Amino acid sequence: MARDLKKYHAKLFKKLSKLLEDRAFIEEYSTKDKAFSRERILSFKTVTLLILQLLKSSLKTELKKFHTTVFRKDEIVNWDSASALCQARQKIKHQLFMFIDLYKLMSRYFYRNTGVNRWFHFRLLAVDGSEINLPSSKELLRDYGCHHINSIGTQIPQARISYLICLYFFYDQQF
């Protein structure tokens, strides 16, 4: 089943890759008419994939890592700068990175192309919750109230969080 999952992920990535190269899609999510019309190292697809990776270190480090892994280019050459990435990012509308449209596209693709396994004909979901300590500020204390006071006398607000997990079964049997 892991092999099937890898095939599905590869197909999904190909679908996303084609979408990010589609001229109509690029024009819909570009801030300017002529943006990303020329062949550049920082294409619409490259910038979008970089941002979707959830960058964790400096832009320069992430750019070097991206070019060595994706394009198999040598790290010695500085192909583009962090400033170039920021300028290219400004040409993309923020709606793309709010994930609403990408989420709709990916979920539509998922439900059309995978036989979602079910438990007694139900899709199995799990909800869990917890509490999280928030930074102490007047606004957060006003909205969430004081949960406790720490050892140095600071009032600590606390929020409740919940999350939904979709459980997939990769075997044909039922419980």
Rounded Cα distance, 2 and 39, in Å: 37
- Whether the predicted pLDDT of 171 surpasses 50: no
Amino acid 57: pLDDT: 76
Q: What is the DSSP letter of 146?
A: -
pLDDT classification of 169: cutoffs 50, 70, 90: very low
Q: Please provide the average confidence, as pLDDT, over all residues in the chain.
A: 78
164's CB contacts (< 8 A; 6+ apart) are 125, 126, 127
pLDDT above 70: percentage of residues in the chain: 82
Q: Are strands 148-149 and 158-166 parallel, antiparallel or unpaired?
A: unpaired
CB of 90 closer than 8 Å to CB of 31: yes
CA 87 to chain CA mean position, Å: 20
Lowest-confidence region among 65-69, 79-83, 114-118, 153-157: 114-118
Calculate mean pLDDT across residues 77-96.
Answer: 80
- Residue 123's nearest CA partner among 166, 74, 61, 172 is 166
CB of 48 closer than 8 Å to CB of 20: yes
What are 90-124's pLDDT values in tens digits? Answer: 888 888 776 677 777 777 777 677 666 677 777 77
Question: Phi, psi at residue 124, to the nearest 5°?
Answer: -90, 125
pTM over 0.85: no
